[in-house]
Structure 1
Amino acid sequence: MALKKGQEVTLTITGAAFKGKGVGKVDGMAVFVHGTAPGDTVRGRIIKKKKSFCEAKLLEIIEPSTDRIEPLCQHANVCGGCSWQHLPYAKQAEYKGQQVEDHVRRIAGLSETKVHPTLACDQELYYRNKMEYSFSTRRWLTEAEIQSDEFVDDSAFAAGLHAPGRFDKILNLNECHLQRKESFAILDYVRSYCVEHDIPAYDAYTHEGFMRHLMIRNAHHTEDFMVNIVTNADEPSIIQPLADALLKEFPIISTIINNINDTKSPTSVGRIQKVLHGPGYIVDKIGGHSFKIHPNAFFQTNTLQAEHLYEVARNYADLQDGDVVYDLYCGVGTLSLFMSEKAHKVLGIELVEVAVENAKFNAEENKVDNVSFVQGDMKDVFTEEMVEEFGAPDVLITDPPRVGMHPDVVERLKQLKVPRLVYVSCNSSTMARDLQELSEVYEVLEVQPVDMFPQTYHVEAVAKLRLKSS
């Protein structure tokens, strides 16, 4: 009997699938259920019906898996920040490795490529160096409130994270274990301060109110600690007393910034930026290089594990004296600088103009003179003329966005035939798609999954490729 949307089903979860969903079968049809673990027997309701699979909403865990644990955080089953807290960390790493291997085997068709066990993170919790919280006039209701027959008022000064799939409602956090403990303490203090002083939260519908976001960044290798308050207007008489109160309560804070976003855009990047205390940036390190991290600049979210990821990439590059390295999608140049220590010359290529400016600044600040950066769309600037200007690469490193590389870039790599290629990915499915194409010219020797984000389903991967002998 064919499954139908709205139908309730009972199934046993047999595996962990993409995006952290558990998967089982009903009458031979694969059914994906969010919030489950392999070994769970569950009851769910079909909410999406496709030709080859269904998705179901979890209604009840009839019999829990022997692997299932009680999440540390009370919000784990609702918040989108930690979707796997109900699994021991060792199991999380195991399933992430299985996911990468499945993509390499099934999508890329690489049956002989070695896929290593996941390189796990040393810190299972409190590992993020950046958290962006939001404020709202509407809070996300609990499951009990949603199911209540009585009216439940959702209006409140809510401070926390967006409820999954909602731009307007905020999960009003009572705890968070992703960043250092001071991070949530500061959020909680700001929320209480605003309520006490009648400072309104921003309303995404009316575009009125004052408090929009609270971004907190901390350095791993230094004591620097940043608080970035994003508001809907420039009101020094409101924001400066709040900053003064924060400094008194939390001496750990080294700089406070006020980003003023008075547009309808939900971004935390302000049209105006003011430094209320300190230098307006923090300093951290990756490898032997220091980086000034400004409020809106990109920096790897897990500093220590980023170093491990870069070490894998550099080992796979097998750098030799005199090597010319191309770093595609180089961002702010952290990996380019990491490679520069053992390379003769590095060329970083990046689309985002401000990232290239930051990359050049980072190279100058670290007195690295063997790295150059070029701004432009990869498919347009990665040409024969570039190779003639900067020299043919001995090693090419590509670290594309989640969508993977543009087909024109993949074709260019096949034509260029660089002796050593390293593919760094935050999406193993699109990496596998690109590896399938590249395998016509390159041998994919091994893949190393790297866990940058414990308690989530996200996993990075690094692939080692070598040019096939003709």
Structure 2
Amino acid sequence: MIDSNCLQEVPCLTKQTTGQKFVKKKPTKKPQLRPTLKLNIDTLDSEGIGQARHENKIALVQGAFPGETVIAEVEHEGRTHVYTKLRRVLRNAPQRTANNPCKKELECLGCPLIGMKYQNQLDYKQQRVEKALADQSLLREQLVLPTLASEPAIAYRASAKLVFGRKREKVLIGLYKRGSHEVIDTGDCPVHHPLINKIIKVVKEEVEHQSISVYSSRHKNGLLRYLLVRVSPENDKAMVTFVSNFRDLQQLPKLGKWLMRKVPEVIAVHQNVNSSTGNVILGQETIKLHGLPDLIDQVGDIKLRIGPEAFFQVNTLQAARIYALVRQWAKLTKRDSTIDVYCGIGGIGLHLAKDAGDLIGIEYVEQAVRNAADNAKLNRLENCRFVAGDAAEQLSRQAAQLKNLRLVTLNPPRKGCAEELLQALCAIAPPQIIYVSCDPASLARDLRILVNAGYLIEQVQPVDMFPQTAHVETVVELKFKGEDAE
């Protein structure tokens, strides 16, 4: 009988195939199990992520909704927040849908509300706008209208900016995992226009087949960095841009040629060169490889020529509804002048120009100004003028040259209007302002300044531009009332 007290740990030995020599075999490490928490979800934050209390901290659980009890795995614990991954729902909330269209919801994390019934999404977005206004003491009863639904709420994205990655020999095209450079392959994404998914599939196959290198953020080498696709739903045509780490006129023209052959709906292929090491997607140089120089889309009552570097809304149908709403609220006549600030490629301004006497568009990006001027010619609108420069400076200068300025429209980026612009706007005091916003918090902050200057908020219309996400566009009409504004 062997005395267990005399047993010693013996190294694991294995034979090499080339002889009888024995070598030590390294023990395999067992993966460390992360702790899990049982959480009761109380609210959604502004990003649509479920929140729960845990030991005086806020636990964040994407994909979980208020009223649910869930099991979540801890990924990182900070001083005030615990970041987790949803593992199991023990008790479903009434707003959870039984037919989630996405199989990669908890990997991709791009659509935090995709498991929620659509009407509940609309209600949540209306509440987001109401809360932002209430935080600035601007909310009145029935001031905020019900959120304008997107039709459709799936397969609505006409634009995609995706990153290339590689796992072993497999090419990935998708999004970065939050807080990392790990690429999550989005596959057949349910919110993309079907033509985008078709293009992604073919590009992935051809990059693998042609053995084209993919950029590594770790090693700072490789060719392909991003894939940009823009679709015209009206015409069922697409423009594709390959963002590369360096200029390449051998592999990418061949890739573009094969893509146009396999997907004839692709009518334009470009290469953009971005050798920077940051997270900016586009570089300074764009080269047309095949087909047309841009994509023409019909948006509402106007045609828009959209270049490979131009910014335009991802939901074309909802963009058209916003433009129509702004035009309806404006009620311009040929006696009226208007200024469109942050005009981009002219979407709002060109719709207003159909009714107005004169329209001036102001935009900081010179290429967008050139696109807007081209779009005015495309639509045979001769009462438009677009200028590049600082918004506040140009607003003051252009307003001084216009007769009967009745309306100023604002469509700023997420951070809202610059303080100098709002000061210039209040000094001019046009009778009407229409503000199109993509962030309720910056919108409410700017509205407080305008109300303090004598404007009254007439109506507020949330618009669901990005179904399945927490983002909401808001259109606000204000009229100058002087001291009686509040």
Normalising by structure 1, report the TM-score: 0.87
Q: Please say if residues 423 and 462 of structure 1, whose CA atoms lie closer than 8 Å, have aligned partners that are also in contact.
A: yes
Q: Which moved more, 1:351-360 or 1:300-309?
A: 351-360
Shift of 1:41: 1.5
Please state whether the residue corresponding to 1:307 is helix, strand or coil: helix
**Structure-2 residue corresponding to 1:221:** 234
How far does the alpha carbon of each residue in 1:340-383 deviate from its partner, in whole angstroms, 9 at most, with x for none? 11111111111112211211222122221111122212233332
Q: Please say if residues 107 and 429 of structure 1, whose CA atoms lie closer than 8 Å, have aligned partners that are also in contact.
A: no
Distance 2:217 2:85 in 1: 30
Please state whether the residue corresponding to 2:272 is helix, strand or coil: strand
**Structure-1 residue corresponding to 2:50:** 22
Q: Please say if residues 38 and 65 of structure 1, whose CA atoms lie closer than 8 Å, have aligned partners that are also in contact.
A: yes
**Structure-1 residue corresponding to 2:84:** 57
Shift of 1:126: 1.2
Cα distance change of structure 1 residues 273 and 387 upon mapping to structure 2, 3 Å threshold: closer
Q: State yes or no: 1:394 paired with 2:403.
A: no
Distance 2:35 2:130 in 1: 33
CA RMSD of aligned residues (A): 2.6
Q: Please say if residues 73 and 176 of structure 1, whose CA atoms lie closer than 8 Å, have aligned partners that are also in contact.
A: yes
Shift of 1:397: 1.0
Q: State yes or no: 1:93 paired with 2:122.
A: yes
Distance 1:263 1:408 in 2: 32
Shift of 1:103: 1.0
How far does the alpha carbon of each residue in 1:186-217 deviate from its partner, in whole angstroms, 9 at most, with x for none? 22222222223322211112222122222221
Q: Please say if residues 455 and 481 of structure 2, whose CA atoms lie closer than 8 Å, have aligned partners that are also in contact.
A: yes
**Structure-2 residue corresponding to 1:47:** 77
Higher CA-based Rg:
2
Distance 2:100 2:336 in 1: 48
Please state whether the residue corresponding to 1:379 is helix, strand or coil: helix
Please state whether the residue corresponding to 1:102 is helix, strand or coil: helix
Distance 1:41 1:323 in 2: 57
Cα distance change of structure 1 residues 266 and 32 upon mapping to structure 2, 3 Å threshold: closer
Distance 2:209 2:328 in 1: 54
Distance 2:324 2:59 in 1: 38
Distance 2:195 2:384 in 1: 37
Cα distance change of structure 1 residues 371 and 91 upon mapping to structure 2, 3 Å threshold: same
Distance 1:157 1:270 in 2: 23
Partner of residue 139 from structure 2, selected from 95, 106, 110:
110
* Number of corresponding residues: 445
**Structure-1 residue corresponding to 2:270:** 257
Q: State yes or no: 1:406 paired with 2:406.
A: no
Cα distance change of structure 1 residues 203 and 409 upon mapping to structure 2, 3 Å threshold: same
Distance 2:420 2:61 in 1: 36
Q: Please say if residues 336 and 348 of structure 1, whose CA atoms lie closer than 8 Å, have aligned partners that are also in contact.
A: yes
**Structure-2 residue corresponding to 1:323:** 336
Shift of 1:458: 0.6
Distance 1:47 1:448 in 2: 38
Distance 1:371 1:244 in 2: 38
**Structure-2 residue corresponding to 1:3:** none
Please state whether the residue corresponding to 2:106 is helix, strand or coil: coil
Partner of residue 202 from structure 1, selected from 208, 211, 215:
215
Cα distance change of structure 1 residues 65 and 231 upon mapping to structure 2, 3 Å threshold: same
Shift of 1:96: 0.8
Shift of 1:88: 1.5
Cα distance change of structure 1 residues 210 and 389 upon mapping to structure 2, 3 Å threshold: same
Q: Please say if residues 273 and 285 of structure 2, whose CA atoms lie closer than 8 Å, have aligned partners that are also in contact.
A: yes
Please state whether the residue corresponding to 1:114 is helix, strand or coil: coil
Partner of residue 307 from structure 1, selected from 316, 320, 328:
320
Distance 1:105 1:266 in 2: 35
**Which residue identity lines up with residue 222 of structure 1 in the other structure?**
N
Q: State yes or no: 1:462 paired with 2:458.
A: no
**Structure-2 residue corresponding to 1:144:** none
Distance 2:60 2:165 in 1: 32
Q: Please say if residues 344 and 369 of structure 2, whose CA atoms lie closer than 8 Å, have aligned partners that are also in contact.
A: yes
**Structure-2 residue corresponding to 1:162:** 176
Partner of residue 177 from structure 1, selected from 164, 183, 190:
190
How far does the alpha carbon of each residue in 1:368-403 deviate from its partner, in whole angstroms, 9 at most, with x for none? 1111122212233332x4322223521111111111
Q: Which sections of structure 1, spanning at least 5 residues, go unmatched? A: 1-5, 140-153
Please state whether the residue corresponding to 1:229 is helix, strand or coil: strand
**Which residue identity lines up with residue 117 of structure 2 in the other structure?**
P
Please state whether the residue corresponding to 1:98 is helix, strand or coil: helix
How far does the alpha carbon of each residue in 1:402-454 deviate from its partner, in whole angstroms, 9 at most, with x for none? 11112222223333221111111000111011111211211112210001111
Q: State yes or no: 1:418 paired with 2:430.
A: yes
**Structure-1 residue corresponding to 2:19:** none
Distance 1:446 1:337 in 2: 23
**Which residue identity lines up with residue 18 of structure 1 in the other structure?**
S
Q: Please say if residues 108 and 432 of structure 1, whose CA atoms lie closer than 8 Å, have aligned partners that are also in contact.
A: no
Normalising by structure 2, report the TM-score: 0.84
Q: Please say if residues 39 and 67 of structure 1, whose CA atoms lie closer than 8 Å, have aligned partners that are also in contact.
A: no
Cα distance change of structure 1 residues 111 and 48 upon mapping to structure 2, 3 Å threshold: farther
**Structure-2 residue corresponding to 1:151:** none
**Structure-1 residue corresponding to 2:440:** 428
Q: Please say if residues 349 and 373 of structure 1, whose CA atoms lie closer than 8 Å, have aligned partners that are also in contact.
A: yes
Partner of residue 212 from structure 1, selected from 213, 225, 243:
225
**Which residue identity lines up with residue 411 of structure 2 in the other structure?**
D
Distance 1:41 1:238 in 2: 52
Q: Please say if residues 262 and 271 of structure 1, whose CA atoms lie closer than 8 Å, have aligned partners that are also in contact.
A: no
Cα distance change of structure 1 residues 90 and 112 upon mapping to structure 2, 3 Å threshold: closer
Q: Please say if residues 280 and 294 of structure 1, whose CA atoms lie closer than 8 Å, have aligned partners that are also in contact.
A: yes
Shift of 1:155: 7.6
Cα distance change of structure 1 residues 409 and 238 upon mapping to structure 2, 3 Å threshold: closer
How far does the alpha carbon of each residue in 1:257-286 deviate from its partner, in whole angstroms, 9 at most, with x for none? 233434545544355433332212111022
Cα distance change of structure 1 residues 229 and 26 upon mapping to structure 2, 3 Å threshold: closer
- State, as a whole percentage, how many aligned pairs show the same letter: 30
Shift of 1:26: 6.1
Cα distance change of structure 1 residues 113 and 469 upon mapping to structure 2, 3 Å threshold: farther
Q: Please say if residues 108 and 186 of structure 2, whose CA atoms lie closer than 8 Å, have aligned partners that are also in contact.
A: no
Distance 2:445 2:82 in 1: 24
Cα distance change of structure 1 residues 411 and 323 upon mapping to structure 2, 3 Å threshold: same
**Which residue identity lines up with residue 448 of structure 1 in the other structure?**
Q
